Amino acid sequence: MGSEIARKHPALPFLNEKIRIMSIFLALPVLGIALMIQTGIISWINLLSGGADLIMAILVTWSLQDRVKTSWYWAVTAGLMVGYVSGLPWYIPLAGYLLVVGAGRLMHRRVWQAPLLATFVVIFIGTFGMHLLTFGYLILTGSSFQFGDVISLIVLPSTLLNWLLVIPVYYLIKDLANWVYPLEVNI
Write b or e for each residue in 19-32: b if 16 or more Cβ atoms lie within 10 A of its Cβ, otherwise e.
bbeebeebbeebbe
Specify the pLDDT at position 181.
75
Asked whether the predicted pLDDT for residue 29 surpasses 60, the reply is: yes
Q: How far is CA 68 from the centre of its chain?
A: 12
Asked whether the predicted pLDDT for residue 2 surpasses 60, the reply is: no
Comparing 6-10, 23-27, 65-69, 131-135, the range with the smallest average pLDDT is 6-10
Determine the residue type at 99: L
Q: Which of 145, 168, 164, 165 is nearest to 49 (CA)?
A: 145
Give the pLDDT band of residue 13 (cuts 50, 70, 90): very low
Q: What is the mean pLDDT of the chain?
A: 83
- 71-85 and 54-63 helices cross at what angle (nearest 10)? 170
Give the pLDDT band of residue 15 (cuts 50, 70, 90): low
Asked whether the predicted pLDDT for residue 98 surpasses 80, the reply is: yes
Percent of the chain with pLDDT over 90: 38
pLDDT in tens, 36-86: 999 999 889 888 888 889 999 999 998 888 878 888 888 999 999 999 998
pLDDT in tens, 119-135: 899 999 999 999 999 99
Q: How many helices (H) and strands (E) does the chain have?
A: 8, 2
Specify the pLDDT at position 11.
43
In the DSSP assignment, the letter for residue 87 is S
E strands, the chain, where? 46-47, 50-51
pTM over 0.85: no
Specify the pLDDT at position 14.
47
The domain limits of the chain are 2-180
- Name the 3-class secondary structure at 51: strand
Report the C-alpha gap between 89 and 83 in whole angstroms.
6
CB neighbours of 154 closer than 8 A, spacing ≥ 6? 48, 49, 50, 131
Specify the pLDDT at position 1.
37
Write b or e for each residue in 95-125: b if 16 or more Cβ atoms lie within 10 A of its Cβ, otherwise e.
bbbbbbbbbbbebbeeeeeebeebbbbbbbb
Burial classification of residue 34, based on how many CB atoms lie within 10 Å of its CB (0-12 exposed, 13-18 middle, 19 or more buried): buried
